[in-house]
């Protein structure tokens, strides 16, 4: 807590400050507000902050969508999702000991957390940065649950899109067929 020149009073658990003859919360104290904004920016720029932003977006999507039938309600909570991501990193680090483990499950290339800046403000992690970290449902016909959550880059996530397991089987079947056709010629 940084010291301020203002008088302090407690109302329950909330600390109030006397600013220009008015009792306000920390947000009403210019110096504290500035400090808080700085801390927020630092957090948002840390890896934890960036991963949390992706996690939060999954839960927000559910909350904001009006037609809930079309939204995948996660069967894990935020803590479990965080652990799944940490386990993925540990797993990939074991698979590629020279890496930092922050690797896409599909293409096995390092993911990024690039925030596209606009002016001075901190902008949301841009989904347009194709190398950025994202969370995918392996089987898109199932929700976010243990065993169906994969950490990958945005490009792989988008590439996979809404294709189903049945689609992949079809693609592989047709690939074989195409090969045979080409061999016959
Ligand atoms: Zn990838």
Query: Are 118 and 143 in the same domain?
Result: yes
Residues 6 or more apart whose Cβ sits within 8 Å of residue 84? 76, 146, 149, 151
Query: What residues are paired with 8 via a beta bridge?
Result: 17
Same domain for 58 and 136? yes
What are 167's two structure tokens?
């689609």
State how far the Cα of 95 lies from the Cα of 79, in Å rounded to an integer.
24
Neighbours of ion ligand 1 (CB under 5 A): 104, 106-107, 153, 156
| Tokens 């020149």 found at | 5
**Cα–ligand 1 centroid distance for 100 (angstroms):** 15
Would you write out the chain's pLDDT as a tens digit for each of its 185 residues?
566 789 999 988 889 999 999 999 988 999 899 988 888 888 888 999 999 999 999 998 766 655 555 678 899 999 999 999 999 999 999 999 999 999 999 999 999 998 876 655 556 665 479 999 999 999 988 999 999 999 999 999 999 988 998 999 999 999 999 999 889 87
Residue 99 lies in a domain: yes
- pTM of the predicted protein model: 0.73
Q: Which domain does 83 fall in, by range? A: 54-169
Nearest-angstrom CA–CA distance, 108 and 173: 25
Ligand 1 mean position, distance from CA 133 (Å): 9
């Amino acid at each position: 807590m940084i010291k301020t020149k203002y008088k302090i009073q407690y109302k329950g658990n909330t600390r109030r400050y006397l600013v220009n003859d008015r009792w306000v919360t920390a947000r009403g104290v210019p110096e504290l507000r500035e400090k808080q904004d700085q801390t927020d920016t630092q957090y948002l720029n840390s890896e934890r902050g960036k991963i949390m932003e992706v996690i939060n977006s999954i839960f927000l999507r559910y909350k904001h969508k009006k037609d809930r039938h079309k939204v995948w309600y996660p069967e894990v909570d935020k803590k479990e999702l965080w652990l799944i991501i940490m386990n993925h990193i540990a797993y990939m680090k074991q698979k590629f000991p020279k890496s930092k483990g922050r690797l896409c499950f599909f293409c096995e290339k390092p993911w990024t957390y690039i925030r596209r800046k606009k002016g001075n403000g901190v902008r949301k992690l841009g989904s347009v940065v194709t190398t950025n970290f994202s969370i995918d449902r392996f089987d898109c016909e199932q929700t976010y649950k243990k065993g169906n959550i994969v950490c990958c880059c945005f490009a792989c996530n988008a590439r996979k899109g809404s294709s189903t397991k049945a689609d992949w089987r079809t693609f592989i079947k047709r690939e074989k067929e195409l090969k045979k056709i080409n061999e016959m010629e």
